[in-house]
């Protein structure tokens, strides 16, 4: 527990010293300027950007979930979202489980997949809004 807290603190110090927050603010300002010119709702966009920043920090602390999200994102982009759950299931892990553990695993995975789908949808919506045609 103590080492986890130290690890998180070290990551926070690294974000501060690397200019992470300054870069995030610059990205937000640029995106909000684009949205303001287009007449979009900048308050909602700002909330999405804050959520995105939180997601980046969460991804850094949990790389396994982030790797799984990237796999799910590729599935969504390929148009095979109907088969996303079966594509994300770790078959080797599933073979070692009893029936109740399998059910729990699939239920938890489907809940994660739903979160991933919502995150993907928000990212796609935000990317469409901030992309400027040149």
- Would you place residue 103 in the very low, low, confident or very high pLDDT band (cuts 50, 70, 90)? very high
What is the pLDDT, as a whole number, of residue 40? 73
Cβ atoms of residues 35 and 42 within 8 Å: yes
Cβ atoms of residues 75 and 81 within 8 Å: yes
- pLDDT, tens digit, 9 for 90 and up, residues 26-78: 888 888 888 888 877 777 778 777 877 887 787 777 888 888 998 999 999 98
Main-chain phi, psi angles of 19, to 5 degrees: 85, 20
Total tally of structural domains belonging to the chain = 1
What is the pLDDT, as a whole number, of residue 98? 93
Could you tell me the pTM of the whole model? 0.64
Domain, as residue range, for 10: 2-130
For residue 73, what are the CA distances in angstroms to 13, 24, 61, 84, 87? Answer: 30, 23, 19, 9, 12
């Amino acid at each position: 527990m103590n080492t986890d807290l130290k690890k998180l603190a070290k990551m926070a110090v690294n974000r501060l010293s690397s200019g992470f927050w300054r870069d995030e603010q610059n990205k937000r300002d640029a995106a909000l300027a684009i949205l303001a010119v287009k007449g979009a709702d900048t308050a909602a966009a700002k909330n999405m950007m804050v959520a995105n920043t939180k997601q980046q920090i969460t991804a850094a602390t949990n790389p396994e979930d982030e790797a799984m999200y990237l796999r799910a994102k590729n599935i969504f982009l390929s148009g095979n979202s109907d088969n996303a759950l079966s594509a994300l299931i770790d078959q080797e892990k599933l073979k070692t489980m009893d029936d109740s553990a399998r059910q729990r695993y699939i239920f938890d995975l489907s809940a994660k997949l739903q979160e991933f789908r919502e995150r993907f949808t928000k990212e796609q919506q935000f990317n469409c809004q901030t992309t400027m045609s040149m």
